[in-house]
Chains A and B, each alone.
Chain A
């Protein structure tokens, strides 16, 4: 198929960017979206033009590197997939596709389609862990039985890949879904109880410091999340936060 691409080009963090147009022929339905960009880049290089830079790594939907806003939607039109798992069969011959980086104050653009998501790391550093030494001298794993349903729920929250689609989808650029996924994982497990108060307070404080917006419960994040992280996690974070506040 033949496509008409409109792609955000930006030299570096301090330069102004702009949309540039590229026609592309010979795209096949079996190609992933990123493989389509590989084909474009090969063409650009052969023409002596600088290729389009974008974050990507595992190309199997789990590392969370890829971060493209495609026709206004994070990871494009398909549901429950990252950009690398989006296939060109979801598009038609002659389509125009607008490709931009994820947009948020806390995700500054570094080059072309690449953004800086280190704000996510700093939220995790503020409390996204259980303070247990890694010596291995803990109790036997089966000494902590956990109700299967709770364990499964914790697992569902833990599958967040930290891609930032939730932020890019949110009109407030809020990181509540991301932050709540980690808070929920530990809130649902007995191991997480000891530090629950501090954890939620510190992670929320860091989230605010990074310049993410507030949550107004529109639910766009849940729809665009490639891993189906549920809005229930945000409700759980709010409960945890309230409980922590009451404890002081």
Chain B
């Protein structure tokens, strides 16, 4: 167990990062020119890391499977980015952001990392504004804020419902500046197939050119994995179609420990599944819970009538509606954290109160907000006795200004007008808190292999708060990794270029080619999607919003069986030495079929409920998560030993020196 040294600096919480920065070794500017760094993934974490490392003087190569770095899935983040600026004067501070994040994560994250995140959060906003990111502003010209779940302050900065897009385009622009200077070489439409270790250190990768099918060797003094999360193990998620775990899983197979794989975020407000053809799920931003009220009918017969189309939700009287979040959690109401809101929706639907055909949807209703805003607008426009229709029209205009793009998206997908009838929403897989285990320096258990953003496990514990993913991605990439990686690279100033004709590169390339040949050589009965969908069903039904020992064991067995079926019977047409999207998918699904089993094993091992991990056996009489700090106050870090069932558990005990462990309450 001694292998897991968090390397968190000693000393008072607020001084740790400054102290650490002062103590780590630096590389002088002339020597940086002799050092190569590979960054895999070009989302917020990878893009910002690549730009900053190149700006510092390192030679950077970036890799992404998309045709441009700008298309990484950070682009789809809607609601906003947190920062402890306290511009609203509502009592925010670094400590409060730190506290909210640790509590929101149900006390399963590392104190020192989270405090550092809070500490650099303000800088992110300064940086992005300097880069020309067009955040929303108030009439006075200063930056506007809104609220997100699980907190009592307004600290979320946003750019309409496209915050991720604007932040990513900022990082992409910073990358472009370095590409133009020749400091970043961007390898787009390239996928990392394996990590290459030389003398136990990460020294390069094997990549596949997705246009030509060519297998390439790339060496570097360090490798940064910023490849996002693994939500697509569920097949249906809000992730992009191409989002995958391959890079992280290849590193895991080469020795990087995988932490807390079972900590997955199921987001409460997504557009419900409409049929078997569904390829992905679409999020409706958490920011909507600022103004939307979530409800189901109070009486089961009303729910049935709505499901059958005999009753319209707008016909149901106020007293016949159950605003269950406001009822159960009066202090936070509709803005409880995501895990709590998702479970509450599932509880109502399981009890028979679901409101769509499949019985798996609840209402998100803007009527009250429309009327409230409309009344205010009427008064400030001098219309003292405006009629209902005018008030409604004015209110709808304000809602449109706030959430117009989300409402438009909803209408395009569902074919219903959410201004007139409440939205139907249901939880969906959205984010994975688990990921590669990293120390305070963001280094994995492989020296020279770093993980940033969603790809690592470090900051969100068992549940991530809204608007914190963007914050963490940019914090890691702009402000943490560029410092900490220098400490490691300072030992490499005399190393010289890493050759790619070594036996280690030969062996890794052969492994990759053999694996591709094996995939292409399947007997060919079923498509890749056939297996992916089957895996997704097992994951959703047995490792989803609530889990129990019996079903987790079943999941482990079923996934293992599905995996061997896959390797024997998957059908991939075409050839490997050309563009071949089925082959790309197959490689990714093959890794999901291993990760899925480890996921279930991790969930089975964790005999407690915390955050997004809800074990039915461990709950309070009111159905809330029952944590077990005595036995499970640790990070599970799994070591690869062949088949997932052989994986060995290492524990990083979590130490709380600055926060008192309490039962999370949002009541």
Residues of A within 8 A of B (CB): 11-12, 28-32, 34-35, 38-39, 42, 45-46, 48-51, 53, 55-65, 78, 80-81, 85, 87, 89, 110-111, 114, 116-118, 120-121, 124-136, 138-142, 144-148, 151-152, 154-155, 158-159, 161-162, 185-186, 189, 191-192
Does B160 contact A155, Cβ atoms closer than 8 Å? yes
**A43 to B, closest residue via Cβ:** B527
> Which of B7-15, B275-283, B340-348, B638-646 lines the interface with chain A?
B275-283
Does A80 contact B279, Cβ atoms closer than 8 Å? no
How far apart are the CA atoms of A65 and B241 in the complex, in Å? Answer: 11
How far apart are the CA atoms of A135 and B579 in the complex, in Å? Answer: 39
Cβ-defined partner of A62 (8 Å) among B55, B75, B186: B75
Does B67 contact A117, Cβ atoms closer than 8 Å? yes
With A186-B132, A191-B129 already in contact, the answer to whether A125 and B137 are too (CB < 8 A) is no
Interface flags, B276-293, vs A, CB<8A=1, else 0: 011110110000000000
Q: Which residues from chain B contact A138 at a C-beta distance below 8 Å?
A: 126-127, 129-130
With A110-B211, A191-B132 already in contact, the answer to whether A63 and B71 are too (CB < 8 A) is yes
**A78 to B, closest residue via Cβ:** B412
With A57-B241, A121-B68, A134-B52 already in contact, the answer to whether A191 and B579 are too (CB < 8 A) is no
Does A57 contact B579, Cβ atoms closer than 8 Å? no
How far apart are the CA atoms of A132 and B159 in the complex, in Å? Answer: 20
**A11 to B, closest residue via Cβ:** B578
Task: Pull 12 A–B residue pairs with CB atoms less than 8 Å apart, ordered by A.
Answer: A28-B277, A35-B279, A45-B573, A51-B582, A57-B242, A89-B415, A117-B68, A121-B68, A121-B70, A138-B127, A138-B129, A161-B165
Interface centre among B52, B70, B128, B578 (most CB of A within 10 A): B70
Does A191 contact B581, Cβ atoms closer than 8 Å? no
* Chain A nearest Cβ from B516, distance in angstroms: 17
Q: Which residues from chain B contact A12 at a C-beta distance below 8 Å?
A: 578-579
Does A57 contact B71, Cβ atoms closer than 8 Å? yes
Does A32 contact B279, Cβ atoms closer than 8 Å? yes
Q: Which residues from chain A contact B242 at a C-beta distance below 8 Å?
A: 57
**A55 to B, closest residue via Cβ:** B67
Q: Does B306 contact A (CB under 8 A)?
A: no
With A42-B529, A51-B582, A59-B279 already in contact, the answer to whether A142 and B87 are too (CB < 8 A) is yes
Cβ-defined partner of A129 (8 Å) among B131, B137, B188, B409: B131
**B478 to A, closest residue via Cβ:** A134
How far apart are the CA atoms of A144 and B415 in the complex, in Å? Answer: 42
How far apart are the CA atoms of A129 and B142 in the complex, in Å? Answer: 22
Interface positions of B from 554 to 610, Cβ below 8 Å from A: 571, 573-574, 578-579, 581-582
A45-B527, A58-B75, A134-B52 known, 14 other contacts, Cβ within 8 Å: A12-B578, A30-B415, A42-B529, A51-B582, A60-B76, A118-B188, A124-B176, A130-B173, A134-B174, A136-B123, A145-B140, A145-B141, A148-B139, A159-B160
* Chain A nearest Cβ from B494, distance in angstroms: 27
Cβ-defined partner of A38 (8 Å) among B169, B277, B413: B277
Q: Which residues from chain B contact A46 at a C-beta distance below 8 Å?
A: 527
How far apart are the CA atoms of A7 and B162 in the complex, in Å? Answer: 33
Does A141 contact B71, Cβ atoms closer than 8 Å? no
Does B68 contact A162, Cβ atoms closer than 8 Å? yes
Does B126 contact A136, Cβ atoms closer than 8 Å? yes
* Chain A nearest Cβ from B203, distance in angstroms: 26
With A58-B75, A116-B67, A126-B180 already in contact, the answer to whether A139 and B581 are too (CB < 8 A) is no
Q: Does B177 contact A (CB under 8 A)?
A: yes
Does B123 contact A81, Cβ atoms closer than 8 Å? no
**B582 to A, closest residue via Cβ:** A51
* Chain B nearest Cβ from A34, distance in angstroms: 7
**A147 to B, closest residue via Cβ:** B141
* Chain B nearest Cβ from A113, distance in angstroms: 11
Does A110 contact B579, Cβ atoms closer than 8 Å? yes
Q: Does B479 contact A (CB under 8 A)?
A: yes
Q: Which residues from chain B contact A136 at a C-beta distance below 8 Å?
A: 120, 123-124, 126-127, 478-479
How far apart are the CA atoms of A136 and B51 in the complex, in Å? Answer: 13
* Chain B nearest Cβ from A218, distance in angstroms: 26
Q: Does B369 contact A (CB under 8 A)?
A: no
Nearest first, the 8 A-B pairs at minimum CB distance are: A145-B141, A129-B173, A136-B123, A155-B134, A138-B130, A141-B129, A57-B240, A63-B71
Does A125 contact B573, Cβ atoms closer than 8 Å? no
* Chain B nearest Cβ from A30, distance in angstroms: 5
How far apart are the CA atoms of A138 and B479 in the complex, in Å? Answer: 13
* Chain A nearest Cβ from B39, distance in angstroms: 14
Q: Which residues from chain B contact A139 at a C-beta distance below 8 Å?
A: 126, 130
* Chain A nearest Cβ from B104, distance in angstroms: 24
Does B579 contact A154, Cβ atoms closer than 8 Å? no
Interface centre among B55, B139, B279 (most CB of A within 10 A): B279
How far apart are the CA atoms of A121 and B184 in the complex, in Å? Answer: 13
**B53 to A, closest residue via Cβ:** A134
With A61-B409, A159-B162 already in contact, the answer to whether A87 and B282 are too (CB < 8 A) is no
* Chain A nearest Cβ from B308, distance in angstroms: 19
How far apart are the CA atoms of A45 and B180 in the complex, in Å? Answer: 42
Does B127 contact A59, Cβ atoms closer than 8 Å? no
**B279 to A, closest residue via Cβ:** A35
* Chain A nearest Cβ from B428, distance in angstroms: 12
**B415 to A, closest residue via Cβ:** A89
How far apart are the CA atoms of A147 and B142 in the complex, in Å? Answer: 8
How far apart are the CA atoms of A152 and B479 in the complex, in Å? Answer: 28
Q: Which residues from chain B contact A154 at a C-beta distance below 8 Å?
A: 132, 134
* Chain B nearest Cβ from A86, distance in angstroms: 8
Does A128 contact B48, Cβ atoms closer than 8 Å? no
